[in-house]
Amino acid sequence: MSEHDHSRTFQADHPEPTSEAALTGLALRELLIEQGVYTADEEQAMIAAMQGASPENGARIVARAWEDDSFKERLLANGAEAIKELGFDLSPLEFTVLENTERVHNVIVCTLCSCYPRTLLGMSPAWYKSANYRARVVREPRAVLAEFGVTVLPDVEVRVHDSTAELRYMVLPQRPAVSDRLSEPELAALVTRDSLIGTQRELASAI
């Protein structure tokens, strides 16, 4: 599953950072390792764990909810508890799943910083962290959604969720019109990162 097509511009191998602030960060890191606060191996393991998280985790949860009504009920009632069934644990944060319907479209932001359920969705996109998204999506969500190619009909409620404290959010997109015979992994492959944030509403019926 990939929500980037191959025309996306990869940044070339990042040159070493030279800004004062970046070097401050790297210097801190070296001092902490020298002081034994943590080790380079622990750092490597932490980075590997963070890089291992991706929207495929969120997609698995969505596919299970599409297939299993009672799981969906549990997920919507208490997301943090329900995802433990799939091996995920976000505690002490409260994981909150927002169901898109014919009547409601949900979209998520953290205006104050960029809180994001990294364990379930991987690294947040640059645009999610951007000032323009954070400033505008709370005030003119439909205009911002239009920039993402999403038009929400006027009779559908757009509900913006500003992740201001200890909750982390994921949208449960509407299931596309697909065969009932698709397996859970096949369903999960249809779910994109942006649909889990709310900057995509319709999912394709095939990859």
Contact positions with other proteins (CB under 8 A) in 168-207:
none
Q: Which two tokens stand for residue 194?
A: 């942006």
Query: Smallest distance from the beta carbon of 23 to other proteins, in angstroms?
Result: 5
Among the residue ranges 39-47, 54-62, 68-76, 173-181, the one whose residues contact other proteins (CB under 8 A): 39-47
74 binds other proteins (CB under 8 A): no
Residue in 103, 196, 206 with CA at minimum distance from that of residue 157 = 103
Q: Which is nearer to other proteins, 34 or 69 (CB)?
A: 34
Q: Which is nearer to other proteins, 103 or 181 (CB)?
A: 103
Q: Which two tokens stand for residue 171?
A: 């949208």
Q: How far is CA 181 from CA 69, 138, 177, in A?
A: 16, 39, 12
Handedness of CA 179, 182, 186, 188 (dihedral sign): positive
Among the residue ranges 53-61, 81-89, 105-113, 175-183, the one whose residues contact other proteins (CB under 8 A): 105-113
Among the residue ranges 57-65, 68-76, 146-154, 171-179, the one whose residues contact other proteins (CB under 8 A): 146-154
Torsion of CA 193, 119, 105, 142, to 10 degrees: -70
7 binds other proteins (CB under 8 A): no
Told to judge if 110 belongs to the known catalytic residues of this protein, a careful annotator would answer yes
